[in-house]
């Protein structure tokens, strides 16, 4: 049904496609059936062209998928992160939430982002925006950069695990996905996994927005927690790499 892409600029029969048109077709397939639905032949069929025509625009399928990943990142809304009125934590949350929402809306997309280097212009733009917010938060540039990666990893990783549980087809509402997890977790044998079984309700909520927000909050706490200054004063190499030394906070409440 209406596979032919009713773009207004179509002139005669088939002429002068461009990269964007090919990526559009790929995106349509991605939205319908996830990453594995994106095939060179499918894309070609989607724009009414022979399979090998795709190779006029991309050297191989991997290049097409990278372009598709970039295309998805292009839609992320940087505005919320940029609005200077908000506290910086809210701006990080806004950016993280927007990225998550976009990726949940296209269940195949996160796998794409995690399986190719994030080095395209829109990936860079995302990092740049986040760097700006973290810089305004008072983090030193080096810390801000590391924090940037930490946050991106957290967002992409959690969406990936969320999406991994989805069946084909439309994405159920969050509360139903949580309910399904809760049900499945009833099968966990308490004699082998006592803590997991005891906390099944919380484990069921791993994929929830609340857990997502909580995680980001803990990360932000960690980024701003007071900790002993690195050995020297020079910003060159600092010795924070050694694990376990320096335990600034301590567990509280029982």
Partner DNA sequence: ACCTGAACACCGTTCAAGT
- The partner in contact with residue 55, picked from a second copy, DNA, none with C-beta cut-offs of 5 to 8 angstroms by kind, is DNA
Q: Which residues bind DNA (CB under 7 A)?
A: 14-17, 38-42, 44, 49-57, 60-62
Minimum distance from residue 1 beta carbon to DNA (Å): 16
Comparing CB distances to DNA, the nearer of 54 and 130 is 54
Distance separating alpha carbons of residues 214 and 210, to the nearest angstrom: 6
| Long-range Cβ contact pairs of 111-119 (< 8 A, separation 24 or more) | 111/34, 111/35, 111/160, 111/163, 112/30, 112/35, 112/65, 112/68, 112/69, 112/72, 113/69, 113/72, 113/73, 113/156, 114/156, 114/160, 115/65, 116/62, 116/65, 116/66, 116/69, 117/66, 118/69, 118/152
Comparing CB distances to DNA, the nearer of 65 and 159 is 65
Comparing CB distances to DNA, the nearer of 49 and 125 is 49
Minimum distance from residue 138 beta carbon to a second copy (Å): 2
- The partner in contact with residue 97, picked from DNA, a second copy, none with C-beta cut-offs of 5 to 8 angstroms by kind, is a second copy
Comparing CB distances to DNA, the nearer of 10 and 142 is 10
Minimum distance from residue 115 beta carbon to a second copy (Å): 5
C-alpha 16: how far from its chain's center? Answer: 33
Distance separating alpha carbons of residues 191 and 14, to the nearest angstrom: 65
Comparing CB distances to a second copy, the nearer of 47 and 130 is 130
- The partner in contact with residue 196, picked from DNA, a second copy, none with C-beta cut-offs of 5 to 8 angstroms by kind, is a second copy
Distance separating alpha carbons of residues 27 and 105, to the nearest angstrom: 12
CB 107 within 8 A of CB 171: yes
Minimum distance from residue 66 beta carbon to a second copy (Å): 10
- The partner in contact with residue 182, picked from a second copy, DNA, none with C-beta cut-offs of 5 to 8 angstroms by kind, is none
Distance between first and last Cα of the chain:
61
- The partner in contact with residue 222, picked from DNA, a second copy, none with C-beta cut-offs of 5 to 8 angstroms by kind, is a second copy
Comparing CB distances to DNA, the nearer of 62 and 101 is 62
The residue written with tokens 């996905």 in the block is 177
Tokens of 207: 């994929």
Minimum distance from residue 123 beta carbon to a second copy (Å): 10
Minimum distance from residue 23 beta carbon to a second copy (Å): 19
């Amino acid at each position: 049904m209406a596979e032919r892409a009713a773009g207004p600029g179509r002139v005669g029969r088939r002429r002068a496609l461009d990269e964007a048109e090919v990526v559009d077709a790929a995106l349509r397939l991605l939205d319908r059936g996830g990453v594995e639905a994106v095939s060179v032949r499918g894309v070609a069929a989607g724009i009414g062209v022979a399979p090998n025509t795709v190779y006029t625009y991309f050297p191989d399928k991997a290049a097409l998928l990278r372009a598709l990943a970039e295309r998805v990142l292009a839609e992320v809304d940087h505005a919320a992160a940029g609005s200077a009125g908000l506290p910086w934590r809210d701006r990080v949350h806004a950016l993280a939430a927007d990225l998550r929402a976009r990726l949940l809306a296209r269940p195949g997309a996160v796998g794409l982002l995690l399986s190719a280097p994030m080095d395209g212009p829109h990936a860079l733009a995302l990092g740049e925006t986040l760097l700006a917010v973290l810089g305004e938060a008072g983090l030193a540039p080096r810390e801000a950069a590391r924090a940037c990666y930490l946050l991106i990893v957290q967002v992409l990783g959690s969406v990936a695990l969320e999406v991994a549980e989805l069946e084909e087809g439309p994405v159920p509402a969050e509360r139903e996905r949580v309910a399904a997890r809760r049900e499945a977790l009833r099968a966990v044998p308490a004699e082998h996994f006592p803590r997991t079984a005891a906390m099944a309700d919380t484990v069921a909520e791993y994929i929830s927005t609340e857990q997502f927000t909580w995680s980001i909050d803990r990360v932000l706490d960690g980024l701003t927690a007071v900790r002993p200054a690195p050995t020297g004063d020079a910003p060159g190499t600092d010795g924070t790499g050694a694990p376990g030394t320096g335990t600034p906070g301590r567990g509280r409440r029982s």
